[in-house]
Amino acid sequence: MSTDRKGTDVRPRAKASHGTRFGELGELYDEVRPGYPEAALRLVGEDWSGLRVCDLGAGTGILSRSLLSLGAEVVAVDPDAAALERNPSRRLVGTAEATGLNDGSVDVVAVAQAWHWFDEAAAGEEIARILTPGGRLLILINQLDVRVDWVLRLSRIMHAGDVYRPEFRPRPGAGFALVEHALIEFDTPITVDGVIDLARTRSYWLRSNERTRARVESNLREYFTTEHPVTGTMGLPYMCLAYLLQR
């Protein structure tokens, strides 16, 4: 059964133009951005087999790959066509506010690392439209664990401005209620060069000029040389904020 909504305008409508530029660095993005903890996916349940899932704001497919490996039927929706080229799922260029999917065509909408790009109320209405009765919305947010002092300092140098407090709760409206939430701590191995690459995937870097980029890289290398010396591989602390909502 097709989940595509015929005749719908699905032209990209991101909040800012740099929100559609991650595909420019798709390979690097996949290499340095962490995946999502299994514990976060278990908010939906242990068995994803046969679930029709819209990975909304799917980008290059970091979450999509995990969902496919769990047996889900995934359609990836994103306004960035270049990023979608790397996504192994069935792909559809669209936005959170106009997905291009049919009414009641998916069982789960999963949003990983993209909620901050959405018009929350408009996205809530669209997600409610494409979900089956009783369908669920899973929102996942990976971010540096700025509760750790040296990571807080690092995030400021990187201009990692998309940091949510653990107390954050999504409010999409449209009859959605929060069913469950979790904060999952994890870390990922990375080198100083890897941190520089991570900075290159940030929206601040993508919208900056070469002079600003050079300054950020210099500040990062100085930080790991003087303030927080690192040689070889380090563990970079993250937290995953996970929310399960249902109508």
Q: List the domain boundaries for the chain.
A: 17-143+162-187+235-246
Would you say 52 and 106 are in contact if contact means Cβ atoms under 8 Å apart?
yes
Q: Does domain 17-143+162-187+235-246 have CATH number 3.40.50.150?
A: yes
Q: What is the pLDDT of residue 1?
A: 42
CA angle, residues 142, 140, 121, in degrees to nearest 5:
120
Give per-residue pLDDT as tens, 163-173.
788 899 999 99
User: Above 50 in pLDDT, residue 195?
Assistant: yes
Summarised one tens digit per residue, pLDDT across range 31-50 is: 778 899 999 999 999 999 99
Burial label, 28 (beta-carbon count in 10 A; 0-12, 13-18, 19+): middle
Longest distance between any two alpha carbons in the chain, whole Å: 58
Cα-atom radius of gyration of the chain, to the nearest Å? Answer: 18
Residue ranges in 92-140 assigned as alpha helix (H): 120-130
Question: Does pLDDT of 89 surpass 70?
Answer: yes
Return the structure tokens found at 52: 């029709």
pTM of the model: 0.85
Percent of the chain with pLDDT over 70: 88
Rounded to an integer, the average pLDDT of 78-98 is: 95
Q: Are 238 and 143 in contact (CB under 8 A)?
A: yes
